[in-house]
Structures are given as C-alpha cells and as structure tokens.
Amino acid sequence: MTNSSRNTLVLASLLIVNCIGGFLMLNHSQKKLEVRQEENTNLKSQINSFRALVTNRDSLEAEYELQKFIASQQSKVILQKDDQVVTYDYLLKILNWMGKDIIYDFALSGQELEKNYNEYVISGRSDYMDLVHFTRMLEHQRALITVEDITLAGENVAHSDTISFSMILRTYYANEGVPANEVSYKPLARGVQEFQLFKSKIWEGLPMLEEKDYRLIDVELGNMVGISESRVFMRDARGIIRILSIGDEVLWGHLWKIDYREGMAIFKLNKYGFEENYILSFSYQNKERTNE
C-alpha cells in the first residue's frame, strides 16, 4: 500500500470517528436542552402562580380581616384561649360597657376542669339591679361564658338594695376561637324593668310601688280609635289622641306589633315583674292579656 492510500484511509477513519463523536455529543446536548426547557417551563409556571398570589395579597388580607370581624360579631363566640387574666379583663370590659363598678373577689374554682373551659368563682356585695344587669350581660354578650350557679343573700339593712352574692362561671375556649381583645360589644334588647318580684325579699316592710310616668299613655285605660299598617291611634283617659308606632313606649312597656288585617295592636307590658302581651282589638275594643 502506498503512502497516499495509507494517509487517505487514516483520514477517512478519523473523519468517521469525529462524525460519530459529534453525533453523540449533539444527541446528549439535545437531551440536556430538553430537560432545561422543561425545568424553565415549570419555573415560569411557579413564577406566574407566585405573581398571582402577590397581586391578590391585598384582597386576601382584606378578606381575612373581614372574616375575623364577622367572627367577632357573631351572636356567640368561643374565646381562642383563656386564663385568669383573660376572664378577669373580660369581666372588667363588661362592667365598663355597663358603666358600673362592682367589687368582688375572683379565683379559680379548684374543680377538675374539662379541656374546653375554665371554672371561676366570684363573690362580693352589690346593688341588686346592678347584679341583675351584670349577670344578664355575662349570659348575653358574645363570649361564651355560662353562669353555672348563683347564691344571693339580702343585707339586714332597712330600705337597702345591697345584697351579697357568689356565682360560678365557666369560660369556654378553643384554638379556632376569637381573641378576647377582638370581642366587641353586642347591643341587647330592652333592659330589665326595675320592678321585680323579689323586691320584698330586700326591702323591709311593704314594697314601694314604682312611680308612674304620666307622660306615657296607659293602654289599659285608653281606647284605640284607629289603626293603620304602621300606626295605632289611641285616646287616653283625658281624651287626648296619641299616635303610636312600633317600639314607642307606653306605661309599663311598649308597642310590639301591629296586625292591620286583624285590627289588633299587641303591647309588651311589664307591670308585675314579668313581661306579658296586652292585646287591643279595634273592631270590638276587646282587651286580652296573655302571660308569656
């Protein structure tokens, strides 16, 4: 074999080896490129999702705050956590809402406790009606606090409404509850009337009758002379025409409901220490009282 032929064969072999090597390298690079492209596609998708979350962050935070506010405005809520400081501060908040200052001792009851509530004992001295309103606020405000037991003792002082009291409270809590500092005031329905059945247990001698407010019409002595869908027309004992709407006060109570089709007006009266219905019918001037 001549030198020329040998050189040609060697060059041809090198060319073939280079072509095979180049093909393998190109194929490997292509696979790496496809992997990188797939990774880039996934990364772009994650970036777009993150960008959407960032864009909606303000609205999500606003929605979260709204949900917290709605939760705090529910008729009853469970506190997120509770201890002696939390419940004591909440009781002070209730007294502040009442505008009263009741002095009492406060402590854990010492009983074996369940996992979802703490039990406390409070005892002290107070005006009777202040205690009535305080107990009512405990039971009807938003935080789930129950009055499990209450003991009252009258003071042996003439013409005194001061009583000694002791009560057991339970404050319920759960991890998904509402922080105590976010529980807001809940307006209550009409307050407890001052006249109550137990006044004779407090006052020595016969109980004094409540003083009448003569600016208000006594529906038991008046007559209904007209009725509409939103008004009741009454003539009082002095012959003066009074026009009443739902919610307007009358002696011992207020106008609760108007039934125009039946020609009836229903009043809520609390004359004897408990609330009762007093019904006036325009058609026949029939009067009826029903206990609740």
In this prediction, residue 87 carries a pLDDT of 92
Q: Per-residue confidence at 287, pLDDT binned at 50, 70, 90? A: very low
Check if the beta carbon of residue 266 is closer than 8 Å to that of residue 257: yes
**If you ran DSSP here, which 8-state letter would residue 247 be given?**
T
Kindly state the average pLDDT of the residues 40-47.
81
pLDDT at 232 over 90: yes
For residue range 261-281, what is the model confidence (pLDDT) as tens digits? 888 999 999 887 778 889 898
**Sign of the CA dihedral 69, 72, 74, 77?**
positive
- CA gap 131, 124 in Å, rounded: 10
Question: Where would I find the beta strands (DSSP E) of 30-137?
Answer: 103-108, 117-127
The predicted structure's pLDDT at residue 205 = 45
pLDDT of residue 68: 60
| Torsion angle defined by CA atoms of residues 209, 212, 217 and 219, in that order, rounded to the nearest 10 degrees | 0
CB of 156 within 8 A of CB of 203? no
Say how far apart CA 241 and CA 152 lie, in whole Å.
46
**Of residues 48 and 82, more confidently modeled:** 82
Instruction: Reply yes or no on whether the pLDDT at 286 is more than 70.
Output: no
Alpha-carbon torsion (177, 179, 182, 184), positive or negative: positive
What DSSP character marks residue 196?
A: -
Place of tokens 């060059």: 11
Query: Please, what is the angle between helix 128-140 and helix 84-98, to 10°?
Result: 120
Mean of pLDDT values over 115-132 = 87
A 10 A CB-CB count for 221 gives 10
Q: Is the pLDDT of residue 258 over 80?
A: yes
In angstroms, how far is the first alpha carbon of the chain from the final one?
128
- Single-letter residue type at 144: L
Residue 197 has pLDDT above 60, yes or no: no
pLDDT confidence band for 288 (50 / 70 / 90)? very low
User: Which tokens belong to 9?
Assistant: 């064969």
Place of tokens 């001037």: 285
Q: Mind listing the pLDDT tens digit for each residue in 143-184?
A: 888 888 888 887 655 546 788 899 999 999 988 888 888 888
Q: Which two tokens stand for residue 41?
A: 């596609």
Report d(CA 192, CA 45) in Å as an integer: 63
pLDDT of residue 67: 62
The pLDDT value recorded for residue 90 is 92
